Structure 1
Amino acid sequence: MGRISYQDVPSAMFEKLRDLETFIAQSSLSEQLLELMRLRVSQLNLCAYCVDMHHKELKHLGESDLRLSMLCVWRETSLFSEKEQVVLTFAEALSKGTRKNLPDAVYDPLTSFFSKEEICYLTLAVAQINTWNKLMKTFQFESGKYQVEGAV
């Protein structure tokens, strides 16, 4: 059992965060790409609950075991497309937290694959998973029990 149970969290808090998830989901960004980014950021942040969740979501979307197992070392493989690599680089740079502005070398490659609007959505999605990671690490929700909605 965690420090703070799901029932202890103010209901409006998760409702507002879910509203942002819905907003992001309505963008033109692919669910698979967003989930890949969410899993990688959760790995970086060492959030067991979110790693479990996004691993299961990706499996449900048809992601391969090989790519899932290699995501933590994605720079060392050829399993990820250039677009995915650009997103993972961007997400990692934003998630590592620095006092400096995001370098052009990280931002500029995004423009080859995404519109400015999509980059806005992607930025929000990265910020959002970092928020979820921090909440789950603080509340200590139990990992391993997440079930994908609609999965059998």
Structure 2
Amino acid sequence: MKARLDFRSASPEANKAMSALHKFVQQCGLEHNLLELVKLRVSQINGCAHCIDMHTKELRAAGESEQRLYLLNAWRESPFYSQRERAALEWAEAVTRLRDQDVPDDVYDAVMSEFNETDLVNLTLALVAINGANRLNIAFRTVPGSYRPQTRFSAGASGTALPGR
């Protein structure tokens, strides 16, 4: 696979805008691993190899178990996710798969039982950000494999990584 173009350098202002969105999400107060789980799940749904590679590496660097990573695409059938994670994953799937439908009331009710209004808006913005990153990386064929985790959990890392970076 060969990249079509480097969208970051082709439009530095667009990259700056996306980076600001991802930075907000990173600092919004939601749990790091929860955000990375929903980013990974959305990337699986969208088929974004670059983002799957990135968020899997981020989760491993943050201490996530291999078992939970392997079972993420079957989270409904797995006992290894909390009620809060389940609600976030259900919300992530519903918001990502909007084609000719809305987000069902039962999904909204479930996520509202685990998140306050501010956190739900921030979680939804995280979904907007990862869906956007997926679309950029898929459209321009960003080649997976070179990403190195930069989370605060990595040895010697001082910052966190932005999707697509």
* TM-score normalized by the length of structure 1: 0.94
Aligned partner of residue 129 in structure 1, secondary structure: helix
Root-mean-square deviation (Å): 1.4
Q: Which has the higher helix share?
A: 1
Q: Gapped runs of 5+ residues in structure 1?
A: none
Residue 53 of structure 1 pairs with residue 69 of structure 2: no
**CA separation of 1:37 and 1:7: change in aligned 2, threshold 3 A:** closer
Would the aligned equivalents of 2:83 and 2:114 in 1 still touch at CA under 8 Å? no
What does 1:1-152 align with in structure 2 at a 5 Å threshold?
Answer: 1-6=2-7, 8-149=9-150, 151=154
**Which amino acid in 2 is paired with 1:52?**
D
Q: Gapped runs of 5+ residues in structure 2?
A: 156-165
Offset, 1:5: 2.1
* TM-score normalized by the length of structure 2: 0.87
**CA separation of 1:82 and 1:91: change in aligned 2, threshold 3 A:** same
**Which amino acid in 2 is paired with 1:50?**
C
Using the alignment, how far apart are the partners of 1:4 and 1:97 within structure 2? Answer: 28
Using the alignment, how far apart are the partners of 1:99 and 1:55 within structure 2? Answer: 30
Would the aligned equivalents of 2:8 and 2:15 in 1 still touch at CA under 8 Å? no
Higher relative contact order (CA 8 A, sep 6+): 1
Offset, 1:7: 5.8
Would the aligned equivalents of 2:7 and 2:15 in 1 still touch at CA under 8 Å? no
Using the alignment, how far apart are the partners of 2:65 and 2:8 within structure 1? Answer: 35
Offset, 1:19: 0.5
